[in-house]
Each structure stands twice: as C-alpha cells, then as structure tokens.
Chain A
Amino acid sequence: MNRNRLSRRTVLRGFGASACIGLPLLEAMIDGRGNWYGATSAQAATPAPVRFMFFHIPNGMSATSLEPFTPKGTGKGYPLSPTLRDLTDFRDKVNVLTGLRHTAYHLSPGMDEHAKCTGSLLTGFPVTLETASGRTLDHQLGDAWAAAGYTGKPTLNAICDASKPGIGADKPPIFNSWGAKFQRTAPIFDPFTYFKEIFGADAGLTTMVPGNTVGQRQSSRKAVLDFVKADAEALKAKLGSADRLRLDLHLTRIQELEQEVLAVPNDLPSTARTQAERDEYEALTAGPATNEVRVKAMVKLTALALQLDLSRVAILQYGWPFGNYVLPAEAGVMNKQGGGGNGDGDHGASHMTDDAYLPWVQYKVKTFRYLLELMDAAEEVGTPGGTLLGNSVTLGTSDVGLGSHNTERHGVMLAGTAGGKIATGMHQEFADKTPINNLMLKLVELIAVPGMTMPMFGIDGTSPLALATP
C-alpha cells in the first residue's frame, strides 16, 4: 500500500502551504492517487473501496420542526430547502432522506438526550449510562477492512471544535465512536495531532537518543515495550476481573504501539521535523471552531486521509453534541445570543426557534459542502465512482433529529454513489418512522467490505433502505 503513500514531508509542506495561502492542495496530490487505480493492470483489477465518511452536524438539523430542512418536492431535482441553500451545484450529488426515525434513542432511558442520541446513532442500540451499548459502525467497518487485509488506519475520528465537550457534571460521555465496552474513542481536535495520527510521526523522534541508528532504536523500543507488557501481565494476576479487562485494553494499545514502532521504515531520514514545519501547524492548533482555518484544516486532512487510502472509514464532527461552540464570523450568526438556559452557543441556539437556528445549520451544511468539494476534486481514474466522493458513502446528519430532542423525524444528507451503485440528487421521503437503522444496514451493504456480513443493524435495522438506483 505504500506505493500511493506520498512522503509525509511532501504532504506536510503541501498541506501547510495550502492552508496558509490557499493553494489547491489536492490537485497536487491527485497524481499520487489518480494513478493508484487503473495505472497498472494489477491495480485496475482492484475495485476502488467504498469509503465511509460521516460528517456529524451536532444539535439537530433544525430547532423544533424539520420544515426548514425538508425540500418541498421529492425525487430528482428537488428544490433546495433553506437549510440546504448552499449545496447549489452539489445538489445532484446529494440525496436528501426524510421520514427516518432514530428508534434506539427512545429506548435509552433517563439520561442526557445528546449522549444517548450520539451513542446510539452508529450502534443502532440503546445506550446505557455506562457506555454505548456496543461497537459503532465505524469500528465494525474498520475491523472488517482489516480482516480483509487492509493495513491502513481502521478508523479516523476527529472534531473541528477544540473546546471541551458541552456536557455538565454527572453526564455520561458524549462520544459517537465506541470500539467496545469501556473503549470510547475520543475525537482528535487539533490538526497537528490529527496529522500525526494520519501520517505517523516517527521521523522527529529518531534523533532523540543521540547516536542510535533507527534500527537500534527500533529494537530497544521493542525491548522497553516487552518490559511494559510484563509489568501489565504481572499486575493482571493481582486484580479483579473488571480491572483485568481495563488492563487488557491497555495491553492492546501497547501492542498497537509496538506495531507502529516496528513499522518505521529504516530508510526514514534521520533529521527531525524542522521547527519551521512545526510552527506552521502551531498556527492551526489554537482556538475553537471559530477559527475557520482550523475547521478547514480538519476537513482537508480527513479528505486527504481517505484520498490517500490511509483510512477507509472516518468520522468528522463539526462540534460536540450539547456543545456551545460558536461559529466563524462569516456564518453571520449572533454567536452570543442567549439560548435560554441552554447556553450561548450552538446548543443554546438549537433550543430557540427554527428561524433563529437556521443560519447555524446552514453554516454547518456549508462546511459539509466543502468536504464534498474536496472529495469530488479527488479523481480516481478508471473507477466506477470516478472520484473519491463517487467511491464513498458520505453521510451528513445529526445526533438528535431536532434541537428540541425530537428524533421522530431525522433529516439525512447522503452523498456519493458507492461506486455507482446508487443514484444521487434525489429527495426520498420514506414512510413515516422508517428506522434509520435500515439506512445504516443499507450503507453496510453498499460499502461491501469483502467477507463482512450483517444481517441486521441495531435493534430494528432489518431491511436495507430502498435507495434509488441509477
């Protein structure tokens, strides 16, 4: 898989430069990717994988009714609704799905609305106070890809907003990615860490012990981690079973780390990443989602990771569910308007009227559009989808259906044809209260990871949603 892997340095420079002065970064990268499929006969025989991209728009697609979101008219060429205003020429690449109900949420008693909605959306199961009920779709897909021999990052999980989760005391964690019980995956919020996550960051570390070659460093790291594992094993014998489970998770992490450490190619340049390169990123790492440059950086990195096949599954959240993040000035919202008792940011606004919340959602839809633009610009020559976007299912929706915590009617945007398998540009209105889990089941069918079977998704996803075909 390394053939399409541009050097980290090249990407870092290209990315840094484009983030600062707005160069069309991705065009420079397309060659690396565009040649991947179809460049040689062996590769041409490999179908492009269908990537799963979930862009999470927290706090509802509208405040109290789905009216502003729902297009007045169904089928091909639907008229853009106020919420979807900025999709403009991307309308034909986006399906709007209405009539769906997020059922599992209703069965998660007595806890914070956003926590249970977020936790149940990608598991399809009710959430308990302790944790999400099971593994989320991103992890299931990522693991299935790994089982099928894919060696990139199984999943990516990031968030544009750097402020802390908008949850108060005594509330369970709001996370939409769960690898297993106890194992929540917290999203990465700063571009520098995200970059390291995607591209690895060993180059800068090899010089830390002077005089050691990379090879020596690798073997001593392995020896160190062996000691660490022995310590964990010795501890396990003394602990109760619940604590053993926790320690096992730590051991798994160490093993992953070991894989990462040993995977460092020996021909890496031994020079550390320069301070100048770091500085470029530090400019991006500060500040919350009001910093438009940061938001775009997170979107770009996500698209880039999928484009370079460094991951096939990604979650990117605009902000924290229940979060009172504010928006960049260009969104034209009154960031500090009082949202009742719900705070003075997005979450507060989501509890106001449809009209008041509309510009907030519009801006997030616009950010979604930016993601679509990047994915659409990433050509994948000779593949059924033609572009990264085409070879994906790209979901844009919210934890709660509405800001008022009503999830009877969930508004969903779905872009990408899954490699030509479905039509786009449609507004499909499903029978009222069709389980949203049927959509998730359908996505699994479309993504079609070799060897992955899923007869049912969550509590009520029993029949794949009938999406229109081309």
Chain B
Amino acid sequence: MPSDQWFPRRTFLLGAVLFGTALFTFAAGCNEPPADSAAAGGAAPGAPVTGAGGEATFGGAGPTTPSPQPTAGTTVTEETCAPVADPGPAVLRSLTRAEYVKSVAALTGVDPEASGLLPQPDRQITTFQRTSENFSLETRAVRGYLDVAEAAATKMFETPESRSKYLGCEPTLADGAACLSQFAARFGRQAFRRPLDATETANLVALAQSAAVDVNPYAGAALIVEALLQSPSFLMHVEVGRPEAPGLRRALTGFERASRLSYLLLGTTPNEQLLAAAESGMLDDPAQVEQLALTLLEDEGARASLRPFFQQWLGISSLKDAAVNVQQYPLWSDSLRASMTEETTRLVEDFAWTPGRSFADLLTAKHSYIDSNLAKLYGMTPPAADFAQVSLEGTKRFGLLTQASWLTVMSGGAVTPIRRGKFIRSSLLCAPPIPLPPNVPELEPTKPGQSEREVLEHHRSSPACAGCHEYLDPLGFGLARYDGIGAYREVDAQGLTIDESGEFAYDSNPNVRLVPAEAFVGPGELSQLLTQTSAFQACVVEKLFEYALARPEPNRCISQPVKRAFADSGYAFRSALGALVRADAFLYRRDPLQEVAQP
C-alpha cells in the first residue's frame, strides 16, 4: 500500500516540512511555519511549490518561482491540474454501524439496534463517520455480529407468514435441496450485493443440510442467513473491480457501483432496483450511473440519508455533546440545542435541494428557518409556525456564519475567535492550520480593561504564534459579536465595545501566503469574501469527496472535474453529486495488486 493511502494530503506536506526542518520542530512555543522560507526562495525538499496558476501544487522537487500575486478577492482556487490517471485506492473497510444496522434491517426485517445485541456505537474520530476507524472488527464486535445473525435468522422463519415472505418454499419436502439452493442464491445476492458463484451456493446448501432439523425444520435455512450475515463479503465494502487494459486501475463492477451509490445516497444495502440496474449492465456507463443517482435523489429518503454529511461537515453533529454553562447563558436548554440543529439543517438542505439555488449562496443567505426558541435568542419576531422561512433583512444575521449551531460548537472562553477561525479555514476553505506544536504556552488571562481581542492580538505579536494565528484569529474576529451560544452582543464581558473587523488572507496552504489580506467588517462582509474567492465552493466538493469515498483525497486534482462541473452548474448541489458519481474516482479503483504492503 502506498503510504498516501491513509493520509490526507496535508499530512504529506507536514511530514515533508518537518523532515526538511527537523531542527526547528522542537522549539517551544508556536513554531514559525517553516515553509515561509520556501516562499522566500529556499524551498525544503518536498515542500509545496507554487504553481503558475497561483495554486500550491504538491510535486516534490522543482524550482520555486514566485508567482504573480493575485489581488485580494479574485479567484485563487483555479487548480493547475493535469488529468489524473490514478483514481485512488479503495481501502477495504467494514460497514459503519449505521450502515450495518440499516442493511440487516432491510435484509431480515430485524432491527439489530432494538435487539440490544450490538456492543456499542461507533466512535466518530474523523470529520465523517464513514471514514472513522473503518476497520473496527474487534472480538466484541464480531461477537455482536454472531448474536445479531442468530437472532435475525430465528426471527425470519418463526411464523408461517415470515417463512413465506423470506423462504417461499418448504425445505422439508422432497425437493428440499432445491428450496435451500434457491433461497441461498436469492438471499446471498442481497446480502453480498452481488450474485453468488456456484461454489458459494453449493457450500451454503451443504451447510444448511448439516443442520439438525429434527426439532426445527428451518434450522438449515437459518444457518444460511447466519453464515451470510457474518461473512466479510457482507460486513465489508468489497470493491475488487475488474482489470482494465493499462493494468493500473480497475473498473468497479456494476454491482460494486450499485453498492457505492446505495450506501452513499441511501445509507443501506442496494435495493432490487439497484441490483437489477447492475445486472443489466447499465452501470457500466458513467452517464447512466449519474442518471440513476439523480433519480434516487428525487426521493426524500435519499436526502435524509445525506443529512449526516451536512451535519458532520459543519460540526453540528457534535452540538448534542456541547456543554454550556446555564448560569452564563440562561437561554440555553436542550430544546434550544435541537432548534439550532434544525435551523442549520433546514438552511443547508434548502440550498442543496431547492431547484435553482446556488449552494454558494449558503454563506450569504438572506433568509433562514427559525422557531420561537431561536427568535428569542436572535431577538427576532417569532414566525407564525415553527421553522417557517423568515427574512434576515435588517437583522444581525447573515447566512450560515451567523447561525447559533456552529457558533455554539465552536465556542470556548477567550479563544473563541481562534476556534471559529480554525473552523472556517478547516471546514469551509479546506485549508486547515498545521497541528499545534508541543508545549504551547497558555493564553495570558485577560487583564482589567483589556478586551478579549487585545489578549489575542498580544499573543499574535509573538512571531512564533503569528505564523498560524494571523490566518485564524482575524477570521474569528469577524464573528466576535456572537457570544458562546450565538446571541448578538455589542460589548464583551469587560463592557468594552467589540471590534468586529478582521482580515481574510486566503491561501490553500497554511504556510504560504498567496493573497494580500483583505480587510472586512463583520460576518456580512466576511461571507461575501469567502464566497467570492470560490475557495468555499471548491471545499464543498472536497468534503463531499471525502464523504463519498470514505477517504481523504490522496491528490487534490482528482476532484477537479467535479469542481468544474459544480461551478459550471452555478453551484447546484445535485450537479456536484452527479459529477461525483460519474467521476473516475467513484467508478474505478487503483489496481489492488499494484499496491505494496507497508513494512
């Protein structure tokens, strides 16, 4: 396996930077970002170099030519990408817990969640659950799969009705073997998401015939279910593909494409429609894959299945764990927490799914969906009905950036501007700062008469800290008038008027400044700037890629055709999804046999 398989691109970058400047990395305090020296002409080996189009590219050696500095506010994300032949790897991963639960329920009618037999929920440790620890096959989990498989197998053949639904024939009669064989082939095709081969079917029949049926005549059929539901071909996303002429990539089979589509758009095992589409060969044609995806998206269910994408991307899935001091924020309640999630979900889905909307306008939206809880928090008139659309004209609210949900998640005492700035850079611009170096000193406590901003400005006056924080803090300052739960205020805890002016210095690489910083005041202007650079729009596609392929992109250029299609459509979210599912990265994989194991 090439080492890039698991790593986000920036990890490479970081590794290279640390390697190139190892002497500096143990210095205390915030490191001076080493690649600043690269911008000055002394590139470290493997450090990013600036491409002609003004976008950092990642290509190891090569002369560092200072690029023409684009003026602020211009588009800086036009990638200088050659077409990428490598579709990227397909890492073997197990179904997430949610995927497993929905798949078992679809196949057997038994809800494993209700059975209480699964040990514990998946833990989300990356942005997206789909990419989190995707190989959690511990003994306990495997034991849970056994328990669930046995419970489901029992239930499926318990009553005459359930037997006729799932089995449809009598294994006890003279042609019992044929009955079992039919069942194994039919249920196996659903469980493995592909037709079984003759050996597999024969093995299942032999397994069924080994069962003791003197008391329970359906024990054999039950064993077929148990075996299929515990097999890696069910528990894992198996994407082997078939070889292509050049031998470097493999086309995923129609069935594998059907599974990708199904788990992406429906969150569950492919239904009969998708399996039939695979069987007919239509998914061999990228245009038809896209067409099928767009058809699926017409369904309300598909949109609900994609909700975790938006919620995890914007961090609001962690709102449920947010600890808020009710003494400090008396308006806080669990009901407000739920309202916040609902508002953001509705707004994002509005821009994603309402025909004619540009998803890029999410940041500058002039409307939102609030209820009485939020009306109180925002100081607005409650709408007639909860979560009816309300206009934001004349209010202190400007699109996504002023929504209480993420503002609450990204709050925390004096360093709120840092956290919010970091969120904007990491989640909305896909340009996260490098990880915190060791032994970073604590912020000095606020002195009497000193504003929170002054504390942060003081810390940025240290050159070591400024390297990263000049890209973070000034973004967060623009939101300083929104408190720990997103209520608007004009003075801070010290009674000082809050300065909401900031600076936006976009660069796609945390260490190289490409654009002179542009000043702005408040979230309205900040949202405009973020949208104008189209860095946000490109980032939406990158996040969508990470979610859809359950891997960080090894090469930013892989998603370039989708970014272009997204832009060409006027940022219609559906078009991004459509372009994604017909992209090579979605339909092909790197040839697994070309991959070399790590030592």
Chain A interface (Cβ within 8 Å of chain B)?
64, 106, 109-113, 129-130, 163-165, 167, 169-173, 182, 184-186, 188-190, 193, 197, 205, 208-212, 216, 220-221, 223-228, 230-232, 235, 238-247, 249-250, 253-254, 256-257, 260-261, 324, 326, 335-345, 348, 351, 404-406
Contacts and interface: CB of A to CB of B under 8 A. Distances in A.
Contacts of A169: 126-127, 315, 426-427
Contact of B143 (A113, A232, A246, A257): A257
B168 to A, nearest CB: 21
Central interface residue in A197, A210, A227, A326, by most chain B CB within 10 Å: A227
A110 B415 CA distance: 21
Interface in B91-149: 91-92, 119-120, 123-127, 133, 135-143, 146-147, 149
B1 A240 contact: yes
B238 interface: yes
Contacts of B210: 220, 223
Interface in B449-497: none
A343 B125 contact: no
A87 B120 CA distance: 34
Contacts of B364: none
The 10 closest A-B pairs by CB, nearest first: A211-B215, A341-B415, A240-B592, A242-B1, A241-B597, A240-B595, A338-B413, A243-B92, A231-B231, A227-B227
The secondary-structure label for the interface of chain B is: loop
Given A210-B154, A227-B207, A231-B200, 16 more contacts: A129-B7, A171-B126, A189-B120, A205-B150, A212-B216, A220-B212, A240-B592, A247-B92, A257-B143, A257-B146, A260-B143, A324-B323, A336-B326, A341-B418, A344-B324, A345-B323
7 contacts: A164-B124, A164-B321, A186-B133, A225-B230, A253-B142, A256-B139, A341-B419
B372 interface: no
Contacts of B315: 169
A112 B125 CA distance: 13
A388 B466 CA distance: 54
B151 interface: yes
Interface in B37-92: 89, 91-92
Contacts of B26: 106
B523 interface: no
B272 interface: no
A408 B25 CA distance: 17
Contacts of B127: 169-170
B391 interface: no
Contacts of A247: 92, 232
A118 to B, nearest CB: 13
Contacts of A190: 120
Contact of A340 (B136, B211, B219, B414): B414
Contacts of B142: 250, 253-254, 256-257
A241 B595 contact: yes
Contacts of A210: 154, 215-216
Given A211-B216, A240-B1, A193 B426 contact: no
Given A247-B92, A343-B412, A109 B25 contact: yes
A405 B210 CA distance: 59
A389 to B, nearest CB: 28
B138 to A, nearest CB: 7
Central interface residue in A188, A212, A261, by most chain B CB within 10 Å: A212
A273 to B, nearest CB: 12
A182 B442 contact: no
Interface in B208-222: 210-212, 214-216, 219, 222
A188 B143 CA distance: 14
A235 B598 contact: no
Nearest to B413: A338
B231 A253 contact: no
B488 to A, nearest CB: 20
Given A223-B210, A240-B595, A253-B142, A232 B91 contact: no
A109 B211 CA distance: 56
Contact of A344 (B136, B323, B598): B323
Interface stretch (B262-270, B294-302, B432-440, B555-563): B432-440
Interface of B: 1, 5-8, 11, 14-15, 18, 22, 25-26, 89, 91-92, 119-120, 123-127, 133, 135-143, 146-147, 149-151, 153-154, 200, 203-204, 207, 210-212, 214-216, 219, 222-223, 226-227, 230-233, 235-236, 238, 240, 315, 321, 323-328, 412-416, 418-419, 426-427, 432, 434-443, 592-598
A110 B12 CA distance: 11
Contacts of B596: 241
Central interface residue in A64, A170, A211, A238, by most chain B CB within 10 Å: A170
B320 to A, nearest CB: 10
B417 to A, nearest CB: 9
A212 B212 contact: yes
Contacts of A110: 14-15, 18, 25, 434-435, 437
A130 B4 CA distance: 11
A344 B127 CA distance: 21
Contacts of B418: 341
B192 to A, nearest CB: 9
A250 B232 contact: yes
Nearest to B11: A129
Contacts of A404: 439, 441-442
A228 B438 contact: no
A224 B223 contact: yes
Contacts of A163: 321
A339 B92 CA distance: 40
Given A220-B210, A220-B223, A228-B230, A339 B91 contact: no
Contacts of B232: 228, 231-232, 235, 247, 250
Contact of A171 (B6, B119, B125, B240): B125
Contact of B140 (A165, A197, A342, A345): A197
Given A171-B125, A188-B120, A228-B232, A113 B139 contact: no
B245 to A, nearest CB: 19
Contacts of A193: 119-120, 140
Given A208-B151, A242-B5, A242-B597, A224 B435 contact: no
Contact of B212 (A216, A225, A250): A216
Nearest to B8: A170
Nearest to B203: A227
Contacts of B226: 224
A128 to B, nearest CB: 10
B204 to A, nearest CB: 7
Contacts of A324: 323
A228 B226 CA distance: 9
A220 B219 contact: yes
A406 B119 CA distance: 36
Contacts of B435: 110-112
Contacts of A261: 146
A154 to B, nearest CB: 11
Nearest to A184: B133
A345 B141 CA distance: 30
Contacts of A243: 1, 91-92, 592
Contacts of B230: 224-225, 228, 254
A348 B135 CA distance: 31
A185 B138 CA distance: 7
Contacts of A64: 442
Contacts of B434: 110
Contacts of B442: 64, 340, 351, 404
Contact of B436 (A113, A254, A348): A113
Contacts of B216: 209-212
A231 B25 CA distance: 47
Contacts of A186: 123, 133, 136, 138
Contacts of A246: 92, 135
A406 B439 contact: yes
Nearest to B312: A169
A235 B200 CA distance: 12
B119 to A, nearest CB: 5
